[in-house]
Structure 1
């Protein structure tokens, strides 16, 4: 289930179905006021209110109004209004997918807020910057801006007398959670979103609380905790309904539909998606209506209602085209291309799938590219163009392998981040305890100074210093031991992972070899065997293992090279695995050789190291 996190800058006025006419009346009143109002700061605010109403229904008009905010603010020297205008302009370009322009105007806005020392504007700009970097897949830059906000929050008492500017700091954690969602780091996403929920609850603003609940529902859905996901999403939807926030209730309906889709309950998924479409139409929220039409099309496909599915995807394409949201076209393009394959309309299918592949590769969208090639491969197979089908299948597999490797790297990075965070927290706790002990000892020392006199006090202070030094040494040793234990565990896990991976690949290779011998067409299987051989011989995994090994067994490799310069790199690998006390079977899997090969390698190594039959190779290695 793809998370559809509600970002703070998408919030619109709360509009209930009976209030649509009133909303139009409000717009007319604001426009009349604006026309007759003198040029001052209040007129800039009127423009902002008009933009808020027209934000999603009339983007062309909104662009002109934003330019008017900037021009008017410059004319009356209203710097804060000028900053708001550039901020709005950045948002306009972001929704159009023109991210470089969005970054340019957002930086201009942030600079103005910094010069005015307006912390709230800086906080908002950093969140918006993070959202743009997320879309560009520059997650490190996104987190850099968000961490800047967190540091400001930690030092808030020295920055401002009033903390009202930090009222919605929960939004920073809310978007931080999304950076981890993008990488599939669901545990870290969960931690940050729970932080956001806690901070939102302190504001007594139920709409922001609903946003956090909405994202928590997405995270639980990704973790396949569907009951908990439903609970969060339903509570969020109820809060939005309570406050007549139809725009964000639509997002909850999108996510509820996605949850039931992932559970395989397509009838309920369709109900929520249809309800969401009607709600989006009432407030004229075109982007979310497009998302819902595409989701409903996918649901209709699962229900085998192909004509209805095609019509739904067409509606999503029309809306996104009108809005100029290029990247949002990829999902309905891919789906409708696949649907046309099913009804044997090959020309239309190829047209849409070609568009997907071209756009995905241009923007380095690996997942979309992999799915596009896979579906075009299926199209070519149905057209009996097996040569082209095989080419596209290989490309799809290559992109899929890239996604798999990225996911594994992200999982390792998540574990490392969690470990580093816990380690820092433990250090803070230890420091706080040491401070408490020092304060208590200082009080006792003062009393003793009064009672026993100078000489006795000096003696006690000396004794106290010795005790504190011993205690610090003990804590430091415990910390080092804990870190070493963790690294050993990490090293063992990595080694066993290598063994298991090679064991599975070897099994796949044998099966492919058997199929190759039975089938008439051998080219595809030969390609598969070559791919597996390449992965079995891949040195990247060994480089990662060597890095972990050196952290645990420092200078082992250099000691071996110094004492036995004749040892080869392969023999050094064997020595490292022996140092870890791994079994011969595990070593054989990691090095991708047979059990008999391990025996021969050990024999040659004993001979090269000049070890007699009475001496143990294992004992020698452990002593190095």
Structure 2
């Protein structure tokens, strides 16, 4: 049995005919400016869950008008609308492509708020693809923006997305922790619509741990809030999920009541994908009721076949492939119980073909993810290599600078040593000159003066004077002393 849950994509606007008509009337009267582009975006969004092909037409019109008016911000918003409609048409790859184009424009405009919204949408797409790493990466990118800007509602929505990812990873304890945190945020800020949606998602955890009373409690509270606020789309999702909980508990009559209420609302809103799911679920419940009975009431079996066939017909008309496999399984069993083995075989063959097709799609998606990861890895490696090259250049530059610094340091030290040696020698030289000067003024000039004096005396005395010999001895002694001094001067001067 298929379950519907409110996992945020871009918006939950109901594609009602009256609503679209009112937007078209406003569009006709609007001037050719940004307000007209915004109306085209709203119409595109209104068609998303109803007629994605039509939604794409309006998104394309919005983009062309935004381009003509040179409104970059609205160009990005139109790209995001294309992504929403491609995703609604089960074309996840195109959804990713257009969201990334929107991101590039928002980055150039430094529009962080819109960037965060697209990050959140990309997270949803990757979650559907089973690329949980990428889903978490984009969710946390969005969360960073909302943390900084203190946008508590958006922060709560992103935290809820993270909880959804952990739920898909079967980290139920972690998912529950995040959901409880989100419920507190929405309660404290009186955000009833968000609170109801989170309660609906929280019920999944309770269903998985088979705490069905608690799951019903969350769903019925959510239903009450959505009925109070008039959120029809969310209301029908709650009705479907309550029916699923009763079905899990084998309370098929109660389950059938809620499924029929959900179907009625889906038909009023003309939501074909929801109609298909509810028809298939009703067919499944009728089949269970028939098996529970004594199998004499063929009306139950006929209702099972009728509703399931209608579900498959609607799926074919809107290209809603995913649920068809389960519906084909229900039909196979129902035809077998009716003993229409030919139709049972055809239904089984349909299921097999669908299974092969989905496996091919899944394989292609996985291949695409792997290619993306490979490209990302190569870019990261290239970046690492470039960083290493820059590091090598930096180190070479530092090495060269260090070499020159070392040379300069050596030259400075050598120069300082030479100067110091020169100054020391200069000091010694000055000292020697001083000593020479002292020797000249005292040690040399004194003996010379004495010699001169003695010589004078010799000249005055007669030649036969007996003291002549003594005078000559004195002259000789002084001459020897003078000779020693000269030797000393010569020796000091050679140093």
Q: Normalising by structure 2, what TM-score?
A: 0.74
From 250, 254, 267, give the equivalent of 1:308. 254
Q: Which residue of 2 aligns with 1:90?
A: 44
Matches within 5 A, 1:186-225: 186-225=132-171
Asked if the contact 2:143–2:159 (Cα under 8 Å) also holds between the matched residues in 1, the reply is yes
How far apart are 1:271 and its partner, in Å? 1.4
Change (3 A) 1:415 1:91: closer
Kindly indicate whether the alpha-carbon contact (under 8 Å) linking 2:331 and 2:344 is maintained by their aligned counterparts in 1: yes
Q: Deviations over 1:285-328 (max 9, x none)?
A: 00111111111111111112111111100111111111111111
User: 1:253 and 2:199 equivalent?
Assistant: yes
What does residue range 433-448 of structure 1 map to in structure 2 within 5 Å?
433-439=388-394, 441-442=396-397, 445=400
Question: How far 1:412 sits from its partner (Å)?
Answer: 4.4
Structure 1's unaligned 5+ residue stretches are: 11-54, 454-624
Does the residue aligned with 1:167 lie in a helix, a strand or coil? helix
How is 1:501-580 mapped onto 2 (pairs within 5 angstroms)? none
> Which residue in the other structure is 2:324 paired with?
369
- Find the counterpart in structure 2 of residue 108 from structure 1: 61
C-alpha displacement at 1:273, in angstroms?
1.2
Match of 1:400 among 344, 355, 368: 355
Pair 414,137 (structure 1): closer, same or farther in 2 beyond 3 Å: same
Q: In structure 2, what is the equivalent of residue 166 of structure 1? A: 112
Given the alignment of the two structures, is residue 70 of structure 1 paired with residue 27 of structure 2, yes or no? yes
1:456-467 matches, cutoff 5 A = none
Change (3 A) 1:8 1:395: closer
- Could you tell me the TM-score, scaled by structure 1's length? 0.59
Q: Of the two, which has the highest radius of gyration?
A: 2
Residue in 1 that maps onto 2:35: 81
- Greater RCO (Cα-Cα under 8 Å, separation 6 or more): 2
Is 1:417 equivalent to 2:372 in the alignment? Answer: yes
Using the TM superposition, give the Cα deviation of residue 102 of structure 1 relative to its aligned residue in structure 2, in angstroms: 1.4
Q: Residue in 1 aligned with 2:9?
A: 7
Partner-residue secondary structure (3-state), 2:322: helix
Alpha-carbon spacing, 1:412–1:90, altered in 2? closer, same or farther (3 Å): closer
The number of residues matched between the two structures is 397
Describe the SS at the equivalent of 1:168: helix
Q: d(CA) in 2 for partners of 1:372 and 1:291?
A: 19
- 1:253–1:273 CA contact under 8 A, matched in 2: yes
Equivalent position of 1:378 in the other structure: 333
In 2 relative to 1, CA 2–326 (structure 1 residues): closer, same or farther, beyond 3 Å? closer
- 1:20-419 equivalence runs, <5 A: 59-74=16-31, 77=32, 79-95=33-49, 97-154=50-107, 156=108, 160=109, 163=110, 165-344=111-290, 345-419=300-374
Distance apart, 1:252 and its partner CA: 1.0
Distance change (3 Å), C-alpha of 1:451 and 1:119 = farther
Aligned partner of residue 376 in structure 2, secondary structure: helix
In structure 2, the residue matched to 1:513 is none
How many Å apart are 1:3 and its aligned residue? 6.2
Structure 1's 432 and 113: CA in aligned 2 closer, same or farther, altered over 3 A? farther
Query: Structure 2, unaligned stretches of length 5 or more?
Result: 291-299, 409-495
Asked whether the equivalents of residues 168 and 199 of structure 1 are also in contact (C-alpha less than 8 Å), the reply is no
Question: 1:374 deviation in Å?
Answer: 0.6
Calculate the aligned-residue CA RMSD, in Å.
2.6
